[in-house]
Amino acid sequence: MSHLSNSASGKPAGNPVVTLASRVNGRPRVLIVGGGFGGLHAAMGLAHMPVDVTVIDRRNHHIFQPLLYQVALAVLSPADIAQPIRTILHHNRNTQVLMDEVVGIDAAARTVSLSSGSRISYDYLVLATGATHSYFAHPEWAPLAPGLKTVEDATEIRRRVLLAFELAERQMVEHGWHPPLNFVVVGGGPTGVELAGAISDIAQLYMRHDFRHIDPSKSRVLLLEGSKRILSAYPPDLSASAEASLRKLGVEVHTDTQVTGIGPGYVEASSSSKEGHGRIDAAVTRSLLPEQDAQVTAPALIGALVESLLGPLAPIYEEPAAARTAVQNATVITLRALGIVDARARGLVAQTVLP
Ligand SMILES: Cc1cc2nc3c(=O)[nH]c(=O)nc-3n(C[C@H](O)[C@H](O)[C@H](O)COP(=O)(O)OP(=O)(O)OC[C@H]3O[C@@H](n4cnc5c(N)ncnc54)[C@H](O)[C@@H]3O)c2cc1C
């Protein structure tokens, strides 16, 4: 089994350049970047193969993302959905786990560089680094509208949602009035739908008897979706059924509605077919969540890999958002054409294998 070692003396030095030790019994070294579903699946598949596997993740734990929204709404605690990657893989005798961040790839030299300053060589590279959200060329929206990809995101959303109710209660006590409690969820993909339903559930069911001065059940939950229907990746009858369920839960569903601006305390949206342009007061909550599912973007590492293989791709990053998303798609298609990417799951979750 290969281990990290200092390339020169075998002793740790300040910011050492290290390489995986040379092959044991000539076994190929497989480097898997990412301990999410993709990376773990690859490691499990290789568990009994004559290879040495290294899994690198910048976190030491795997997150079960489908339950993140339950953490965001205080139904589960973070520990319920996180498990150490090394615990999950500890039966895999041919596998070691390292916590570090891969920051660069040199495909020709078959090495990756790590944020710790180390470098690791490989024979086969599996990139399973997941996907991230797109803010539609509005990076300034990010602090106002946190995404939901990590435990930190989930606890931040939880903090904002709970504080919104607390603040409203205090304002009622102090001033006899509080601004509207509007929770705006941007994006009617699976995550947006789940989150909108769960916020409404919490306000209508769980919190309604906990406050003396406000009535949480009177808060509004708005789900804004740019296309003609929510859950547009699914058949129309499922979209219709989901929309009906949400309305029953008290969620206001606005399809064909594009968010054009987000600022502290408000969301601006325009609808081509209905009310035209409007501003939604969200002064208290600021719980605005970007689309998670349809508009994910490829992580920077995919770009680094393409650059390493094909040369600089500078123009990609100078284009406006729509073009950028398209070019990122093209990037993956290019990788596919090269036979090295299997774009999977939703969005550009890329699992890349380099021989
Ligand atoms: C809120 C939410 C709800 C979802 N619900 C469902 C559902 O109900 N059903 C369903 O099928 N799917 C669902 N999904 C989608 C599903 O979770 C993803 O498709 C899946 O997690 C993708 O797996 P992955 O391994 O590709 O990426 P991830 O699970 O994102 O894992 C990527 C890993 O790579 C690591 N990493 C990234 N970059 C680096 C780097 N440079 N160096 C080192 N490590 C790095 C990250 O730390 C992470 O551990 C949901 C997703 C979300 C966010």
pLDDT greater at residue 46 or residue 260: 46
pLDDT at position 3 over 80: no
Rounded distance between C-alpha atoms, residue 232 and residue 218, angstroms: 29
Q: How confident is the model at residue 203 (pLDDT cuts 50, 70, 90)?
A: confident
Residue 131 CA to ligand 1 centre (angstroms): 7
Helices and strands in the chain: count of H runs, count of E runs: 9, 19
Rounded Cα distance between 304 and 105, Å, is 6
**CATH entry 1.10.287.110 includes domain 139-281:** no
How many Å from the N-terminal Cα to the C-terminal Cα in the chain? 20
CA–centroid distance, 37 to ligand 1, in Å, is: 6
Task: Please confirm, yes or no, whether 194 is among the known catalytic residues.
Answer: yes
**Closest C-alpha residue for ligand 1 atom 6:** 66
Ligand 1 pocket mutation pick from 31, 32, 37 by most atoms within 8 angstroms of CB: 37
- Residue owning tokens 């090295």: 340
Q: Which architecture, in CATH terms, is 4-133+295-354?
A: 3-Layer(bba) Sandwich (3.50)
Q: Where does ligand 1 bind, in terms of residues with CB under 6 Å? A: 33-39, 56-59, 65-66, 68-69, 101-102, 128-130, 148-149, 190-191, 292, 299, 301, 345-346, 349
Atom 41 in ligand 1: which residue has the minimum CA distance? 102
Question: Token digits for 314?
Answer: 């500078």
Which atom in ligand 1 lies closest to the alpha carbon of residue 103?
A: 41
Report pLDDT for 217: 85
* Average confidence (pLDDT) over 128-152: 83
- Give the tokens for residue 70: 């339950």
Find the catalytic residue in 101, 152, 156, 194.
Answer: 194
Q: What is the C-alpha to C-alpha distance for residues 107 and 308, in angstroms, rounded to an integer?
A: 6
For the ranges 7-16, 231-240, 301-310, the lowest mean pLDDT is seen at 7-16
Residue 28 has pLDDT above 60, yes or no: yes
Quick count: other Cβ atoms within 10 Å of Cβ 92?
A: 18
User: Minimum mean pLDDT among 35-39, 220-224, 338-342: which range?
Assistant: 338-342
Handedness of CA 187, 188, 194, 198 (dihedral sign): positive
- Of residues 117 and 345, more confidence is placed in 117
Q: Which of these, 267, 296, 265, lies nearest to 191 by C-alpha position?
A: 296
The tens digit of pLDDT for each residue in 278-322 reads 666 553 233 333 333 333 344 556 555 555 555 443 333 233 333
20 has pLDDT over 50: yes
What strands, in cross-sheet order, belong to the sheet with 111-114?
102-106, 111-114, 119-121
Least confident span in 14-23, 270-279, 282-291: 282-291
Count of all residues that appear for the chain in the document: 355
Residue 68 and residue 150: Cα distance in Å, rounded? Answer: 7
Q: Could you give the residue range(s) of every CATH 3.50.50.60 domain in the chain?
A: 4-133+295-354, 139-281
Ligand 1 centroid to residue 346 C-alpha, Å? 10
Mutation choice for ligand 1 from 70, 88, 129, CB with most ligand atoms inside 8 A? 129
Residue in 196, 130, 146 with CA at minimum distance from that of residue 346: 130
Atom of ligand 1 nearest to the CA of 114: 42
pLDDT band of residue 275 (cuts 50, 70, 90) is low
Encode pLDDT of 78-115 as tens digits. Answer: 999 999 999 999 999 999 999 999 999 999 999 999 99
Mean pLDDT over residues 336-344, rounded?
Answer: 34
Give the Cα separation of 354 and 127 in Å (integer).
9
Structure tokens at 328: 């990122």
* Cβ atoms 278, 257 nearer than 8 A: no
- Contacts of 84-89 spanning 24+ positions with Cβ under 8 A: 84/60, 85/35, 85/40, 85/55, 85/57, 85/59, 85/60, 85/61, 86/60, 88/35, 88/40, 88/62, 89/40, 89/43, 89/44, 89/55
In the block, residue with structure tokens 């990139």: 127
